[in-house]
Structure 1
Amino acid sequence: MIAPTAALDPAWIARTVAVALDEDLGLEPGRDVTTQATIPPDATGAADLVARQDGVVAGLVVVPEVVAQVAGRLGLPVPTVDQRVPDGTRVARGDVLAVLRGPVQVLLVAERTLLNLASRASGVATHTRRWADALDGTGAQVLDTRKTTPGLRALEKYAVRCGGGTNKRMGLFDVAMVKDNHVVAAGSVSAAIAAVRERFPDVTVQVEADTLDQALEAVAAGARFLLLDNMATPLLAQVVAAVRATADGVELEATGNLTLDRAREVAQTGVDYLSVGGLTHSSPILDLALDLSPGLTGARR
């Protein structure tokens, strides 16, 4: 698990912003034919980054990097970014999240890229907060999955943290997760666990179980983290009770077919986590806007 306060890696932000700008402007330095034709390079101004919906913001940390890279490509001064709220803040429609001041060309060229990243992250954070609120007081936490947008996993998992959720594994490299196809290939749950421990003894092993028998087999083989997959609430409660009676220190995660409507019901079975792929694969964006203030200064044509 990643610490809830873990920040985004600045090197990752720089790489991701560069790719996003290449996509929007063409290969470096690229161009914005509309902005560069209509706005003099010496025109300066200010713009408000504004929430158009209630929600939880995330991804504001990328904004300075976007405007800095755009300024570098255009050969213009870097705008200042006065961030008014930290990532993870609940905001209301109309709240100003940041004020940007500097060359208007830079502000307008950077607009869509910074909005795409911050709106996407804020949508994930807002969705996650709904789950975290639904689980409040139950002792269970909401987990994300690997069902992320290619290239944006770090941002989306950061957004989950901002929304009050918990990251599970970052990829295939840091945690072993024995699922049904691995069991088929290895011959049994026990054989799959043994194979992972022999080849990669340093990693945590998690095991997916669809039935009570599979869960108990995994625990007997030494598994200390079980994914209880697609279980109806009565079966889930039965499995939790049986595992707790059999071994201490086993972490239990409910996964599959979870909805906000049954979140508390599932949590009350005694599981430690609810794993929700929809946090990252189905969250709508939070609508954000960059509103340029009227009146430019220093403009010459």
Structure 2
Amino acid sequence: MNRGYTTPVTSITEKDFESLVQLALEEDLPAGDITTDTLFSVEESCTAILLAKEEGVLCGLSVIPCLIQKSKTNVTWSQILEDGAPLSKGTIIGELKGSLVGILKMERILLNFIQYLSGIATNANRVAKQFPNLLILDTRKTLPGYRKLAKYAVYTGGGANHRINLSDMAMLKDNHITKAGSIQSAVQMVRQKNPGKKIELEIDGLSQLEDAIESKPDILLLDNFSDGDTEKAIYILKDKAPEIRIECSGGITPDKLKFLSKFEGIGVSMGYLTHTVKFLDISLDIK
């Protein structure tokens, strides 16, 4: 099963987060660290262990070398695990060595990135493992600037990527259809002006299904359908238009996922994966 509607975010590079790292340093250290600069000498050194305090999926380690470089501190990073590694309480992720002052100043920023992205990866992993025959998709409900990182974390956890941005593929909703005059007109206009781009069409009732099938979108989104209407729509689509991919969204609960899991390969988009995230409990313990 391809885990993405377009090209999924299977990796990230420094270009994807260096501006966020720089912003984080400027935000947290506008004039140094009063506590650390007062209590410790720049000559002091230490070793610090990055340690998991609960079960989850690791994500975001490539941020650490960038943070060290931009903080201009004499610290080295020794990585033990890779992104995607399963974590349990007490798992050692890696080790920082060098300037005590430097490590203390970057501690919170480092943990914010790793805890946040690992939290997203863990969210996605829990749902994807429980419902392996569904395509668990993210959405564009991400923090500004963190889009690519958040979608990478979803993919790392075993989830799938919906469109990465508005330029990636077309998605026609009720306002677009109203302006175009009809479902078929909206799809036709987008297809003519954007050959080669995928088109997803959202409908909110069975009354739109016939027009939706005739318009031949690549993906049909059943938004806030009841279980009964979802089942009817899926059976009709599999019979009349098996080439159209099916996606469900809107108020998706565990019970709804259990119901949908009987339909092989259905996509389910869940803003929950990225907008309701608990930081994974990871600490940086100085020896």
One-letter amino acid matched to 1:20: A
Q: Which residue of 2 aligns with 1:65?
A: 66
Q: Indicate conservation of the 8 Å contact 2:9/2:151, yes or no.
A: no
Q: Which residue of 2 aligns with 1:258?
A: 252
* d(CA) in 1 for partners of 2:255, 2:128: 13
Q: Which residue of 2 aligns with 1:298?
A: none
- C-alpha displacement at 1:259, in angstroms? 1.6
Q: Which residue of 2 aligns with 1:115?
A: 111
**What CA deviation, in whole Å up to 9, does each residue of 1:58-113 have, x standing for no partner?**
1122112112211x2xxx42x22111211111111121111111111111111111
* d(CA) in 2 for partners of 1:239, 1:271: 15
Q: Which residue of 2 aligns with 1:180?
A: 174
1:224 alignment partner, one of 218, 227, 233 = 218
- C-alpha displacement at 1:246, in angstroms? 1.0
* d(CA) in 1 for partners of 2:143, 2:95: 28
- C-alpha displacement at 1:267, in angstroms? 2.3
Unaligned runs of 5+ in 2: none
* d(CA) in 2 for partners of 1:249, 1:226: 11
- Output aligned runs, 1:31-42, within 5 Å: 31-42=32-43
One-letter amino acid matched to 1:232: S
**2:12 paired with 1:8:** yes
Q: Indicate conservation of the 8 Å contact 2:16/2:149, yes or no.
A: no
The Cα RMSD (Å) is 1.6
Q: Indicate conservation of the 8 Å contact 1:56/1:123, yes or no.
A: yes
CA gap of 1:3–1:251, structure 2 versus 1, over 3 A, is same
**What CA deviation, in whole Å up to 9, does each residue of 1:169-207 have, x standing for no partner?**
111111110011111222211111122123322321100
| Count of residues in Structure 1 that have an aligned counterpart in Structure 2 | 283
* d(CA) in 2 for partners of 1:186, 1:61: 45
TM-score (ref. length: structure 1)? 0.89
- C-alpha displacement at 1:219, in angstroms? 2.0
- C-alpha displacement at 1:127, in angstroms? 0.8
- C-alpha displacement at 1:270, in angstroms? 4.2
Q: Which residue of 1 aligns with 2:86?
A: 90
**What CA deviation, in whole Å up to 9, does each residue of 1:117-152 have, x standing for no partner?**
11110111111111101112x2x2100000111111
One-letter amino acid matched to 1:118: I
* d(CA) in 2 for partners of 1:225, 1:158: 22
TM-score (ref. length: structure 2)? 0.93
SS at match of 1:60: coil
Q: Indicate conservation of the 8 Å contact 1:87/1:162, yes or no.
A: yes
Q: Which residue of 1 aligns with 2:151?
A: 157
One-letter amino acid matched to 2:53: R
Unaligned runs of 5+ in 1: 294-301
Q: Indicate conservation of the 8 Å contact 2:124/2:158, yes or no.
A: yes
Q: Indicate conservation of the 8 Å contact 2:169/2:199, yes or no.
A: yes
Q: Which residue of 1 aligns with 2:209?
A: 215
Q: Which residue of 1 aligns with 2:56?
A: 55
- C-alpha displacement at 1:5, in angstroms? 6.9
* d(CA) in 2 for partners of 1:271, 1:229: 17
One-letter amino acid matched to 1:116: N
Q: Indicate conservation of the 8 Å contact 1:127/1:283, yes or no.
A: yes
**2:47 paired with 1:21:** no
CA gap of 1:3–1:273, structure 2 versus 1, over 3 A, is same
* d(CA) in 2 for partners of 1:155, 1:37: 35
SS at match of 1:286: coil
Q: Indicate conservation of the 8 Å contact 1:236/1:269, yes or no.
A: no
Q: Indicate conservation of the 8 Å contact 1:240/1:270, yes or no.
A: no
One-letter amino acid matched to 1:243: L
- C-alpha displacement at 1:4, in angstroms? 5.7
Give the ranges of 4+ consecutive aligned residues of structure 1 lying more than 2 Å apart after TM superposition. Answer: 1-5, 198-202, 269-272
Q: Which residue of 1 aligns with 2:127?
A: 131
CA gap of 1:191–1:83, structure 2 versus 1, over 3 A, is same
CA gap of 1:271–1:213, structure 2 versus 1, over 3 A, is farther
1:277 alignment partner, one of 264, 271, 275 = 271
Q: Indicate conservation of the 8 Å contact 1:45/1:103, yes or no.
A: yes
SS at match of 1:59: coil
One-letter amino acid matched to 1:105: V
* d(CA) in 1 for partners of 2:228, 2:216: 25
